[in-house]
Every structure is written in structure tokens, then in C-alpha cells.
Amino acid sequence: MLRAQLRLEAARRHDRHCQLCEHRCGADRARGERGPCHAGVEARVFRHRVEYGEELELTPCHLFYLSGCDLRCAFCVAEVNAFDPKRGELLTPEYFRLAVELGRTQCPKTLQWVGGEPTIHLPRILEVMAESGPLPPIVWKSDFHGTPEAFELLDGIADWYVADLKFGNDDCAKRIARVDHYWAIVTRNLERVAGSGTLIVRHLLLPGHAECCYGPIVAWLAERLPQVRFSLRHGYLPRWRAGQFADLNRYLSPGEAAAARERAEAAGLQLVR
């Protein structure tokens, strides 16, 4: 009980000087300051429902989608919901309790926090879970741009981590998601959580990014984390602002998807089927 209270107190300190993501803006959200994610002290859920399209180990999964994100990926399928933290219903203990009760009627195997990006709302998430009854195993679906301080708060809380490893180099991350030092930050965090929960690394194939992004990701995983589950996604859609980028303004070809799977298999990665 004392440990949980200390964890909550540590999380709430980020309301006054936010260091939850690697922008490290130090915003005093409680006084109305806003960092790159534009989030305040409130968290909002723009959708929650039990879904069956996650990895088989996690399905059926009750997903809670929180608005607001620390990245600005041009191809984000959640579009404005991902980037406007004012969208959705206020996340309160009562809202969460009722939502969990509703989801329980569909017998979910897991409960997943997703976004946008949930890391920027860690204080509120920990608060509502602390006041809830028994929950299914917790899945933390993240862009993994969080700080070591944020991931420390998740130790013992998250049973599963689903990491969106989006880019294989800093140039693509800067151009498409408007973030610096992406590769070092995300790979550091992947290694950090690999021993503290079950990790699934998910990658959405981007058209034309086989060599600049996908190749380095496969090589790094094969060398550093060959034991983790690798979830290769090939359902890319040129949504949101992808049309502003010549390389992103098309669908993935069947040949690109097949070649990517062969590459992962040849590297010995543990592919999620």
C-alpha cells in the first residue's frame, strides 16, 4: 500500500514539472502550461471498446484510447483524436469503473491503454487504476518515446508492453513525426522493459521505407532483442497528412509486404502469426 502511494506521489509530481516524455518540457500543467503534447492535468478517453484485432495473446482486449500525443506522425490513423487532448470523456475513477464493468460483459483477456499516447497521462491512469477493483492484465501500448522516470512508474503495473517502433533512423522520425533523437530514445526504452514485462515490438510497414527504416529495425532486433515477439503490420493507410509526403501518399504493395516478412524470417525474428 505504501509503495502504491509513493508511486502515485511520484507520478503527480509531473503535473508540476512534466518529464514524462523525452521532450522533457518541464511544463507546469497544474498552472496551465502546455508542452509539445498540449496536454493538461486532465486525461480524456475518445473511445473505449473490446476489440479482436490485436495480437492473439492479447485478444479479446478492452482498449482505452486517450487523446493527446507527444509525437506528430503524419500518417496517424487516429487523426485529430490523437493530437487534441481536449477530445473525449474525462477519465475519472467513476468513468473507468463503469467502462470496465461494461467491457467485462465481453470477457476481455486484457485491458490496454493506448492513444494518442498514454504515457503523457500516466498520473491520471495510475489514479483510476488505484481506485478500481480487480482488472485484467494490463497492456501498455506506446510509441516508447517516454523517459526512464515514466517507465519506472510502470514497473509492476504493466503486464504487457506493445511498442510501436515506427522508424529506423532519426531523419525519417524528424521529417515525418517531428521528433529528435528518436532511435536512441526508443531503443533504450525497448531494452529497459524487455526484462520487466512481456514485450511485443510492433512495426507498421511504410511504403518506400524498406531500407531506411525496416532494415535497421530488423537488424537491431536480431542483434539486441532476438527473443521478443515481433508483430509486423502491413495495413498502412495514407491517412491524416500523409498526402503531404510523396513517399507516404500510396498504399503498400503486396510485394513489399511479402519481402518484409521474408526478411524478418531470415533474420530469425520471433514473428507474431
- Please give the pLDDT value at position 130: 95
- Please give the pLDDT value at position 1: 53
CA-CA distance, 76 to 93, in Å (whole number)? 29
Instruction: Give yes or no for residue 2 having a pLDDT over 80.
Output: no
Instruction: Give yes or no for residue 273 having a pLDDT over 80.
Output: no
In this structure, the strands spanning 44-51 and 61-66 are antiparallel
pLDDT in tens, 233-242: 999 999 999 9
- Please give the pLDDT value at position 108: 98
Q: What percent of the chain lies above the pLDDT cut of 70?
A: 99
- Please give the pLDDT value at position 196: 85
- Across the beta sheet with 44-51, the strand order is 89-90, 44-51, 61-66, 110-114, 138-142, 160-164, 198-204, 229-233, 270-271
Range 95-124 average pLDDT = 97
- Please give the pLDDT value at position 83: 92
Contact 198, 241 (CB under 8 A): no
- Please give the pLDDT value at position 197: 83
Q: Which of 108, 100, 112 is nearest to 161 (CA)?
A: 112
pLDDT in tens, 232-266: 999 999 999 999 999 999 999 999 999 999 999 99
Chain-centroid distance, C-alpha 266: 27
pLDDT in tens, 11-40: 999 999 999 999 999 999 999 999 999 999
Confidence of residue 226 (pLDDT cuts 50, 70, 90): very high
pLDDT in tens, 180-212: 999 999 999 999 999 888 999 999 999 999 999
3-state secondary structure of 47: strand
- Please give the pLDDT value at position 51: 97
pLDDT in tens, 48-82: 999 999 999 999 999 999 999 999 999 999 999 99
CA-CA distance, 78 to 95, in Å (whole number)? 22
